[in-house]
Structure 1
Amino acid sequence: MTPAKLFALIQYPLPHHLLSRLIGRLADCRVGWLKDALIRAFIRQFKVDMREAHEPDPRAYPSFNDFFTRPLKDGARPIGEGLVSPADGTLSQFGSIGRGRLIQAKGHDFTAADLLGGDLEAAGRFHDGSFATVYLSPRDYHRVHMPVAGTLREMVYVPGRLFSVNAATTHHVPNLFARNERLVCHFDTEHGPMALVLVGAMIVAAIETVWAGQITPLPRGGVQRIRFDTPVHLEKGEEMGRFKLGSTVVMAFAEPVEFDAQDTERKVRMGERLGEFG
């Protein structure tokens, strides 16, 4: 058995939500010496480049969460033409949504309906479209931005597990992105419907949006849908949300996309061009 498969298997019995909430409390601690020690250790372990941060002094952040969701300097991420990356990270998969299915990793795929919380009608909008998945590692900038301009139509919270979403787990846990807790944001764009899915993961303490603040964690229950009477319009490159600790964004588009990349597992930066709508 490979170390990657063993890492995936030992996650099944773990109390995902309890661990994540405990880590979340620690990350929100405002005791000066403790939060400074956590931040220093994190920067050292993951080689975080603070020169890009709007506030480069690690001691200036009130908590680890404030450090982790730090803004960048103005102009640090120019916005390219066409479809752009919503976040810094790794473009782990991309391509067509063939027969309503998205690729997770080699040998694993999942349905758009499952990803969107069992909504067959919503999944039908993306039947002949395209998708892209960006994985945010611990060292990455953790705010999520709009890959194209859009108007929010509906937000859907889907409860689930909190498996890690790193490469080892995506290759060994079937339907990973369709079984983890996630926030589905449906937008209307000039290219048709778009879904941005913010996927929760092990020790991700919370997911926030700019229009509703912190969304997860929510009390246990079923799928929760929230519609907005007042339109929320966001321009391309504008911030739409953030992760408190790292995770993954899955984008689904109704219109086909001609991606520039030839291979997966490519590093990308927020605002970098990914392709053009066909």
Structure 2
Amino acid sequence: MLNQLKAIIQYLLPKQLLTVIFGWLAKKQLGKVTTWMIMGFCKLYKVDLSEAKINDVKAFKTFNDFFSRELNEDARPVDAGDSVVVMPADGVISQFGTIQDTQLLQAKGHFYSLESLLACHPDMIKFFKNGLYATTYLSPKNYHRFHMPCDGILREMIYVPGSLFSVNKATTESIPNIFARNERVICLFETELGPMAQILVGATIVGSIEVPWEGIITPPREGIMKRWTYDNEIKLTKGQDMGCFKLGSTVITLFASNAIEFDSHLKVGNIARMGQKLADRI
């Protein structure tokens, strides 16, 4: 009942307006006001800054600087095993498993399709049909940069406009097709495992999704799909930083069929730590 009430509130909220307002506020240098915002946020969500390169809240000029903070180099050791695929972000493993034909599990009783998630891209649908997926939810308290689970060459990136529903546990259990309805950035890589995709899902108050090779992808929110293609100029290694959210959201990682085998200890609800083992290459 409570989840249903939260879902109704999500439908009624002016999500785009709230996101625009918060995005504007988060990039402003407001001195003590910025510091108070960060201190309040850290207290509310129990944010741990001890592992961050900058751990003094007064040193952040904007809220976005705080939210896109980097960690100390030794904070997230990357499993160097040749066959190991690592977790792309800190957060919680909300779902993982095999794609049933083209159906992915969002939450108990809720499925969504590759067609809707990948904006009907025919090649990508073919690549990942009957493949594997892992969904990592980043809560507000988490480190909000996302990384490569394996070595790869970027081939294509697509921005898909959409809604900005919150993607926490309550809403994913209540709002159908939420990941395919929300704004997202799809990054397709060529890897030794075959094709691999990282899908960066926006949400309410996520002021920005940013990647180093193109900068800020959203905003602006123009309501149109955008596509970039690449040759061999963008090569990323396992564990390498590939961008950030300017507030919490979700990363969905897709693999081709028979490319990996998930770690035997992995369970839904596990805490995810970037760089730790997610799966083994087959």
Q: Which residue in the other structure is 1:8 paired with?
A: 7
Q: The residue matched to 1:6 in structure 2 has which SS? A: helix
Q: Which residue in the other structure is 2:142 paired with?
A: 140
Q: Residue 18 of structure 1 aligns to which amino acid in structure 2?
A: L
Q: Residue 76 of structure 2 aligns to which amino acid in structure 1?
A: R
CA contact (8 A) 1:117 1:223 kept: no
Counterparts of 1:78 and 1:155 in 2: how far apart (Å)?
A: 27
Q: Residue 195 of structure 1 aligns to which amino acid in structure 2?
A: A
CA contact (8 A) 1:100 1:124 kept: no
Please state how far the C-alpha of 1:55 moved relative to its aligned partner: 1.1
Task: String of CA shifts for 1:60-93, please: whole Å, max 9, x gaps.
Answer: 0111110111100111101113111100000110
Q: Which residue in the other structure is 1:180 paired with?
A: 182
Q: Which residue in the other structure is 1:149 paired with?
A: 151
CA contact (8 A) 2:162 2:223 kept: no
| Contiguous gaps of at least 5 residues in structure 2 | none
Counterparts of 2:36 and 2:276 in 1: how far apart (Å)?
A: 33
CA contact (8 A) 1:255 1:277 kept: no
Equivalences for 1:14-163 in 2 at 5 Å? 14-80=13-79, 81=81, 82-163=84-165
Counterparts of 1:77 and 1:41 in 2: how far apart (Å)?
A: 26
CA contact (8 A) 2:112 2:177 kept: yes
Counterparts of 2:175 and 2:3 in 1: how far apart (Å)?
A: 11
Please state how far the C-alpha of 1:229 moved relative to its aligned partner: 4.4
Instruction: Give the counterpart of 2:218 among 216, 219, 222.
Output: 216
2:203 pairs with 1:204 = no
Q: The residue matched to 1:153 in structure 2 has which SS? A: strand
Q: CA RMSD in A?
A: 1.2
Please state how far the C-alpha of 1:186 moved relative to its aligned partner: 0.5
Please state how far the C-alpha of 1:121 moved relative to its aligned partner: 2.4
Task: String of CA shifts for 1:160-206, please: whole Å, max 9, x gaps.
Answer: 00000000000001001000000000000000001100000000000
2:276 pairs with 1:272 = yes
Residues 230, 189 of structure 1: alpha-carbon distance in 2 compared, 3 angstrom cutoff = closer
Counterparts of 1:187 and 1:140 in 2: how far apart (Å)?
A: 25
Please state how far the C-alpha of 1:210 moved relative to its aligned partner: 1.1
Q: The residue matched to 2:119 in structure 1 has which SS? A: coil
Q: The residue matched to 1:11 in structure 2 has which SS? A: helix
Please state how far the C-alpha of 1:226 moved relative to its aligned partner: 1.0
4+ residue segments displaced more than 3 Å: none
Q: The residue matched to 2:234 in structure 1 has which SS? A: strand
Calculate percent identity across the aligned residue pairs: 48
CA contact (8 A) 2:155 2:230 kept: yes
Counterparts of 1:15 and 1:148 in 2: how far apart (Å)?
A: 38
CA contact (8 A) 1:83 1:274 kept: yes
Q: Residue 185 of structure 1 aligns to which amino acid in structure 2?
A: C
| Contiguous gaps of at least 5 residues in structure 1 | none
Q: Residue 259 of structure 1 aligns to which amino acid in structure 2?
A: F
Q: Give TM-score scaled by structure 1 length.
A: 0.97
Counterparts of 2:220 and 2:198 in 1: how far apart (Å)?
A: 19
Q: Give TM-score scaled by structure 2 length.
A: 0.95
Please state how far the C-alpha of 1:217 moved relative to its aligned partner: 1.9
